[in-house]
Chains A and B, each alone.
Chain A
Amino acid sequence: MIGQAILVLGGLGLGFGILLSFASRKFAVVVDPKEEKILEVLPGSNCGACGFPGCQGLAEALAKGKTEATSCVAGGAEVTKKVAKILGVEIEPKTELVAFVACRAGIKQAKKKFKYRGLNNCQADALLFTGDKSCVYGCLGLGSCAKVCPFDAISITAEGLAVIDPKKCKSCQKCVKACPRNLISMVPRAQEVIIICKNRDRGKKAKEVCSIACIACRICEKACPQQAISIVDNLAVIDYQKCNQCAICVEKCPQKAIGVRS
């Protein structure tokens, strides 16, 4: 009995062992050494901003030459340089973008219409009577963007405003999609002068809902020596190609709706 038991169990173990060792030979997957090296230099946060399924997917595509070395958005110039070195290609520098929340109106500047006590996310708040903020374009401050940020770059201030740390932002654009108000946009990293408002109401109405809203007074448009600012839909827009960041508009804006990124 004992002999049989040992034989059967041992035989099974041996059988499976042999089967597995053959299988590992037969089904071996040849991994490109480049792919492993690239995977090491990628950030590894699997944010998906490159459009591939995670860092592993991008590394595979890069190693096979299916995509360009600049594909990793989150890694920025540094990772691109390393990837290009592994692949042995030359790259042209690309303008780096960071996400920016275009609202600085806290409780003092834009009043609350009512006390919101529903689900703790901005989408739900925005659905309830267009949200609790008086300005229907403003930041609701419940942190839906902060929750999706894989790099912990977004924080909510005491005044109920989302603020993105440009040092931590890797421009994966997840927050851009998460914001129900479309307040977050990608701005060149070097750009310091930014319109900090998305209010498209006419002057008087904009002033009623928020004390620092853009009222489309066109002072900045006229003051800009580069003619980089234009008013579109009652809202000032800066053409980043033309802007030389002289910051004259920041001084001239009567509403302080144009600011310098902190």
Chain B
Amino acid sequence: MISNNMSIFLIFISAMMVNNILLIRFIGLCSFFGVSNRMETSIGMGMAVIFVMVIASIVSWLVYHHILVPFHLEFLRTATFILTIASLVQLEEMVIRKNSPNLYRAMGIYLPLITTNCAILAVAFLNIDYNLSFFKSIIYSLGVSLGYTLAIVMFAGIRERIELSPVPKSFKGYPIAFITASLMSLAFLGFKGLFGL
């Protein structure tokens, strides 16, 4: 369990490796299988997730602690976070489109996709559940998103290699991808107990 008393380093490692959001928690799997066909797209998705997740957790933390808690409306957090994250991604898209067309072209289609990515919402919730302070919640979301990128990039690399291999016909495509993902997940279980986490 992560708590606010833990050091920044431990929170970061726990978020990125020990409790990897894709391979240990199994959150955000739709994009994990959807956009991991090619290395390029998975890197694009990973970068967009890092960007959106950090900003979304900053804003959702502020909204929760400075709007919901004072009014005793903690039970509204699901609806509020969905609203917050959706508007936030819209805003980000506009700002990026105006200020940096190259970045917009690179992230382009991934930004709207991320609006409905459960990993983003999960991190916003986990920040609250773990009672993390503002600064530590940023570190935590950075760790989670880097873990997401790490997992999806590795997965894309393996899938690109599998494309070239003589896979039995009944295993072609998603079945072999699922098997690969489960083996990767087993490998990540090896991090359990690292630094006593």
Docked Cα-Cα span, A27 to B96, in Å, equals 9
What's the Cα separation between A120 and B164 when bound, in Å? 6
Among A12, A17, A19, A57, contact of B67 (Cβ-Cβ < 8 Å): A12
Query: Which DSSP category, helix, strand, loop or mixed, fits chain B's interface?
Result: helix
Q: Are A8 and B68 in contact (CB under 8 A)?
A: yes
Cβ 8 A contact of B97, one of A4, A29, A53, A56: A29
The interface residues of chain A, by DSSP majority, are classed as helix
In contact, A8 and B67 (Cβ under 8 angstroms): yes
Interface string of A11-25 (1 = CB under 8 A from B): 011001101100110
Residues of B within 8 A of A1 (CB): 72
B105 at the interface (CB under 8 A from A): yes
Minimum CB distance partner of A15 in chain B: B87
Contacts of A4 in B (CB 8 A): 71-73
Does B79 reach chain A (CB closer than 8 Å)?
yes
Question: Are A120's CB and B166's CB within 8 A?
Answer: yes
| Nearest B residue to A28, CB-CB | B98
B76 at the interface (CB under 8 A from A): yes
Task: Give the complex CA separation of A29 and B96 in angstroms.
Answer: 11
Q: Are A12 and B73 in contact (CB under 8 A)?
A: no
Name A142's closest neighbour in chain B (CB-CB).
B164
- B7 part of interface (Cβ distance < 8 Å): no
Which residues of the other chain, B, contact A119 by a CB distance below 8 angstroms?
164-165
Interface 1/0 per residue, B77-119 and A, CB below 8 Å? 0011001100100110011011101000100000000000000
Q: Which residue of A lies closest to B108 (CB)?
A: A56
Query: Given that A12-B63, A12-B80, A119-B164 are known contacts, is A5 also in contact with B87, CB under 8 Å in the complex?
Result: no
Contacts of B91 in A (CB 8 A): 19-20, 23
A89 within 8 A of B: no
A-B interface, 6 closest residue pairs, ranked by CB to CB distance from nearest: A16-B87, A27-B98, A27-B94, A119-B164, A23-B94, A23-B91
15 residue pairs of the A-B complex, CB under 8 angstroms, read A5-B76, A8-B71, A8-B73, A8-B80, A9-B76, A9-B79, A12-B83, A16-B84, A20-B91, A23-B94, A23-B95, A27-B99, A54-B105, A56-B105, A119-B164
